[in-house]
Structure 1
């Protein structure tokens, strides 16, 4: 169980009584909202319908997708917890430079000019350095001559983290390592990413038949992605909440293309949500 300050403990007890939830359930949601920076939360709380996702001012998803009362409860609870976190010292202060603290990166890196978090990964960008924390383990990368302007992540580990620079999209695992979680120093050969991205690009010939074929391929690819979530027995394979939401987005795209009817879309969406 996550340790709380005396103030946090008293606030959680009050919220628990008002919402008719257990103390542990409220702490679980508090941690989820805190990990989401007060703007989102991914949770798995049996008292609130199991797995779900909350976004402040946006979508709230719960296991029982048609239970609007439960959605409102989760939305109100998460909003209250987000406000609580912004106005109170709920968790004990962890020393700077320690995993789990607000300033989790090594202190010798100084202050980052950009930092953020996505899912279970936190990152901070410094001059010529990128720090990534995954499950409390910190890895430092050399950003070479890249001027990082944005970071994105697909489902998985830090190897799926990519960022934008003046040379385009670059995968984090292509950068030289400065230190790994074991503090082992690894020497990596410098790579000139500019040469790779500045290679001559062949201009495509304007071919109406090819254009039509490309449009058909764009419609087929989402269908393949959806088919891949069904095994040979016709059962939906297990996925995390984030993966399920990604699949639902692909189903919605298929519906917009006319590949799925409204009833087929709703049936598949219900099946996916029931297996979170």
Structure 2
């Protein structure tokens, strides 16, 4: 775990006392908010109702969706943590390129114009280059003439990666490798003139976005109101809610 600065340590202790939460619970939320760049968080904290999601200025989802007090607590602590991360150095700096560093890509690439993270994957997009860190291993690809819009981790055990471009959805392994190693074969290079068929969207596990999460939350809340007025049964509600949560 990355070490905290003196300010970071004080922040965690103060919020632990403020919200009557354990040190570990606040640390878990701090890491989740930090991983979401201070604007979103996906967490699984028993003291805060288990699994949940938070988006700054948007919706907050907790395991007990009708517990508005819990929602408020999660929203408040996440906002406090996000403000702390924005105003002061919370985590001790790790040199670029070292495990755990926020600047994990090779230094000669400069600053990315787009980046993101999902599970054990991080990516950063540069002019003509795509850097991907998977399980701590960094690989840099030549993006050819693709305009990279985002990287997703496919469902399944192979951890295959895809990216979106003006040509549709393509495999990261179809790009030439500039540096690093990839677990999949590297000989299947994409040609700029070739436009492959997009892979079925249903097979992807897209990264959490504001629009997708908000839409699902709104649908679940509408379902809850329908259940309250007797328009649908408890069983129908639970079935549809489980189906909607798989979209996030």
Worse-superposed segment, 53-62 or 103-112:
103-112
Contact 2:174 2:189 in 1 (8 A): no
Q: CA deviation at 1:270?
A: 5.7
C-alpha distance in 2, partners of 1:188/1:271? 41
The residue matched to 2:84 in structure 1 has which SS? helix
Could you list the per-position Cα deviations for residues 137-196 of structure 1 after superposition, in whole angstroms to 9, with x for gaps in the alignment? 212212122233x1142554763331223x3443323222334457x9x76354324233
Q: Label 1:119 to 1:58 Cα distance change in 2 as closer, same or farther (>3 A).
A: farther
Contact 2:2 2:92 in 1 (8 A): no
Q: Label 1:181 to 1:23 Cα distance change in 2 as closer, same or farther (>3 A).
A: farther
The residue matched to 1:79 in structure 2 has which SS? helix
Worse-superposed segment, 172-181 or 6-15:
172-181
Could you tell me which residue of structure 2 aligns to residue 9 of structure 1?
9
The residue matched to 1:147 in structure 2 has which SS? coil
TM-score normalised over the length of structure 2:
0.74
Could you tell me which residue of structure 2 aligns to residue 164 of structure 1?
165
C-alpha distance in 2, partners of 1:130/1:266? 42
Q: Label 1:181 to 1:94 Cα distance change in 2 as closer, same or farther (>3 A).
A: farther
* Superposition map of 1:196-207 within 5 A: 196=195
C-alpha distance in 1, partners of 2:28/2:82? 13
Contact 1:152 1:162 in 2 (8 A): yes
Q: CA deviation at 1:197?
A: 5.4
Q: Label 1:52 to 1:187 Cα distance change in 2 as closer, same or farther (>3 A).
A: closer
C-alpha distance in 1, partners of 2:17/2:38? 22
Q: Label 1:114 to 1:158 Cα distance change in 2 as closer, same or farther (>3 A).
A: farther
Contact 1:63 1:273 in 2 (8 A): no
Could you tell me which residue of structure 2 aligns to residue 151 of structure 1?
150
Could you tell me which residue of structure 2 aligns to residue 121 of structure 1?
121
Q: Label 1:49 to 1:190 Cα distance change in 2 as closer, same or farther (>3 A).
A: closer
C-alpha distance in 1, partners of 2:163/2:113? 17
1:133 aligns with 2:133: yes
Could you list the per-position Cα deviations for residues 195-221 of structure 1 after superposition, in whole angstroms to 9, with x for gaps in the alignment? 3359xxxxxxxxxxxxxxxxxxxxxxx
The residue matched to 1:194 in structure 2 has which SS? coil
- Tell me the C-alpha RMSD between the 2 structures: 3.6
Q: CA deviation at 1:3?
A: 2.0
1:52 aligns with 2:52: yes
Q: Which has the larger radius of gyration?
A: 1
1:109 aligns with 2:109: yes
Could you tell me which residue of structure 1 aligns to residue 80 of structure 2?
80
C-alpha distance in 2, partners of 1:127/1:98? 23
Q: CA deviation at 1:118?
A: 4.1
Could you tell me which residue of structure 2 aligns to residue 21 of structure 1?
21
Please list every run of 5 or more consecutive structure 2 residues that lacks an aligned counterpart in the other structure.
203-207, 224-230
Contact 1:99 1:105 in 2 (8 A): no
Q: CA deviation at 1:114?
A: 2.8
Q: CA deviation at 1:89?
A: 0.6
Contact 1:121 1:134 in 2 (8 A): yes
Contact 1:99 1:137 in 2 (8 A): no
